[in-house]
């Protein structure tokens, strides 16, 4: 690992100033950053340790009914906050389906949003990667790419975004609060991560020195508590990234869906909101054929980027399953294997 200057600012303002220097990177828990630095994938010359900044690890109820989650709150603390998990069960389930207990105990909310792709060619410094070394090419094209993107990819990059947490957040219209040299601003999470296009090295909308201070869920996000599920296909039972995942959050009255949110994970370089599918669901009577039509719409633009055509059909099926289970109702307690499509759900569902 290349050595670096270590800076510990006392305020967000100091942090932004320190991180605005070329070569600087923010350090929170470091669960992804240190891994990347050990592999020589990134080599910041300065680490700005924000993990001790005060008041950024809270869950706050705002006057307008929004919920603000501080950027330094640990993933486990958010998932296990009873009130939060009851209001946003798919967010809690997604968090608990990601990484391991040790990593969730350390990793922060802001860090989860900013984690890098797990594309093996990005990690392997001997491989060509336009994201790591712009213009060098993409060894994932024509390489081992069965887990790569099927939506929104370009010839320059076929990587996926690995976050589970971001998938329900994008479905629930989460907003990212950031602070930079020019002050505070907000970015809708759906627009926060960039698709690769011709510039896969640009991953999100943050300007140099800008820091995530909070993620906010607007008031309507709490309407879906009774019918929300996150489902995730993995190559082993636990502690693995998604092959494909989907969140379905519904508002159901009798046999009609009155409001619907749907998003996919593991399919693109950003959490993928499926708005066409949502519009098919809204106002319709729920049944299996409706869910299949929604799944077709969600994947209508999908195309394989390599040996991964199977992911398209797999994603359709996980969408149908997520919609079916969300309609049946949110389980009273998150299943023993969170987000597993193979888990049996015992006990009652929430009736709200």
Give the β-pairing of 272-273 and 46-49.
unpaired
SS3 116: coil
From candidates 47, 174, 298, 314, binder to other proteins by CB under 8 A: 47
CB of 21 to other proteins, least distance (A): 16
Closest CA to 277 of 100, 151, 119: 151
Q: By CB under 8 A, what part of segment 271-330 binds other proteins?
A: none
- Find the binder of other proteins among 45, 237, 279, 287 (CB under 8 A): 237
List the beta bridge partners of residue 249.
228, 261
Cα angle 313, 239, 147; round to 5 = 35
Q: Are 171 and 249 in contact (CB under 8 A)?
A: yes
Contact, 326 vs 249, CB < 8 A? yes
Q: Does 125 bind other proteins (CB under 8 A)?
A: no
Interface with other proteins, residue 85, by CB under 8 A = no
Q: Can you tell me which of 14, 21, 35, 201 binds other proteins, judged by CB under 8 A?
A: 35
Regarding 336 and contact with other proteins (CB under 8 A), the answer is: yes
Nearer to other proteins, 8 or 68 (CB): 8
Shortest distance (Å) from residue 176 CB to other proteins: 24
Interface with other proteins: number of residues (CB under 8 A): 34
Closest CA to 151 of 159, 140, 142: 159
Cα–Cα distance between 335 and 333 in angstroms, integer? 6
337 binds other proteins (CB under 8 A): yes
Among 4, 66, 68, 258, binds other proteins (CB under 8 A): 4
- Figure out which of the listed residues 45, 102, 279, 287 binds other proteins, where binding follows CB under 8 A: 102
Query: Nearest-CA neighbor of 91 among 172, 180, 2?
Result: 172
Position among 5, 61, 255, 313 found at the interface with other proteins (CB under 8 A): 5
3-state secondary structure string across 85-114: HHHCHHHHHHHHCCCCHHHHHHCEHHHHHH
* One residue of 103, 120, 226, 290 binding other proteins per CB under 8 A: 103
Residue 105 CB, shortest distance to other proteins, in Å, is 4
- Closer of 92 and 176 to other proteins (Cβ): 92
In whole angstroms, the minimum distance from the beta carbon of 186 to other proteins comes to 28
80 binds other proteins (CB under 8 A): yes
Applying CB under 8 A, does 332 fall inside the site for other proteins? no
Kindly tell me which of 27 and 225 has the beta carbon lying closer to other proteins.
Answer: 27
CA angle 291–262–236, rounded 5-degree value: 90
- The reply to whether 202 sits near other proteins by the rule CB under 8 A is no
- Residue closer to other proteins (CB basis): 30 or 152: 30
Q: Which stretch binds other proteins (CB under 8 A): 54-62, 72-80, 177-185, 249-257?
A: 72-80
Q: Which stretch binds other proteins (CB under 8 A): 11-19, 23-31, 163-171, 277-285?
A: 23-31
Q: Which H, E and C letters describe 147-205, residue by residue?
A: CCCCCCCECCECCCCCCCCHHHHHHCCCEEEEEECCEEEEEEHHHCECCCCCCCCCCEC
Bridge partners (DSSP) listed for residue 187: 176
Nearest to 30 by CA among 1, 61, 69: 1
Cα separation, 266 vs 246, in Å, equals 9
The residue ranges that bind other proteins (CB under 8 A) are: 1, 3-6, 8, 27, 29-31, 34-35, 38-39, 47, 49, 51-52, 74, 76, 80, 99-103, 105-106, 237-239, 336-338
């Amino acid at each position: 690992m290349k050595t670096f200057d270590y800076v510990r600012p006392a305020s967000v303002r100091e942090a932004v100033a320190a991180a605005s220097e070329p070569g600087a990177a923010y350090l929170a828990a470091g669960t992804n950053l240190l891994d990347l630095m050990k592999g020589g994938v990134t080599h910041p010359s300065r680490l700005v340790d924000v993990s001790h900044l005060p008041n950024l690890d809270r869950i706050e109820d705002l006057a307008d009914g929004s919920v603000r989650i501080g950027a330094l709150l640990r993933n486990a603390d958010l998932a296990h906050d009873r009130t939060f998990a009851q209001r946003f069960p798919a967010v809690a389930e997604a968090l608990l389906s990601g990484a391991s207990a040790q990593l969730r105990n350390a990793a922060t909310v802001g860090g989860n949003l900013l984690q890098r792709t797990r594309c093996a060619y990005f990690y392997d410094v001997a491989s060509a990667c336009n994201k790591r070394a712009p213009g060098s090419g993409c060894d994932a094209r024509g390489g081992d790419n069965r887990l790569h993107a099927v939506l929104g990819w370009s010839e320059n990059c076929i990587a996926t975004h690995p976050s589970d947490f971001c998938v329900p957040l994008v479905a629930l219209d989460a907003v990212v609060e950031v602070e930079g040299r020019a002050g505070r601003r907000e970015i809708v999470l759906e627009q926060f991560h960039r698709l690769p296009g011709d510039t896969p090295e640009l991953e999100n909308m943050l300007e140099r020195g800008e820091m995530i201070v909070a993620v906010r869920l607007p008031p309507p996000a709490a309407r879906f508590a009774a019918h929300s599920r996150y489902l995730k296909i993995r190559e082993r039972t636990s502690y693995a990234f998604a092959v494909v995942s989907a969140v379905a959050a519904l508002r159901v009255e009798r046999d009609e869906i009155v409001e619907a949110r749907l998003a996919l994970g593991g399919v693109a370089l950003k959490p993928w909101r499926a708005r066409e599918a949502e519009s098919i669901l809204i106002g319709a009577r729920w049944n299996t054929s409706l869910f299949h039509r929604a799944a077709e719409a969600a994947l209508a633009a999908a195309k394989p980027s390599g040996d991964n055509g199977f992911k398209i059909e797999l994603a359709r099926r996980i969408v149908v399953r997520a919609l079916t289970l969300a309609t049946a109702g949110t389980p009273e307690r998150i299943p023993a294997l969170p987000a597993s499509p193979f888990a049996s759900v015992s006990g009652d569902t929430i009736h709200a």
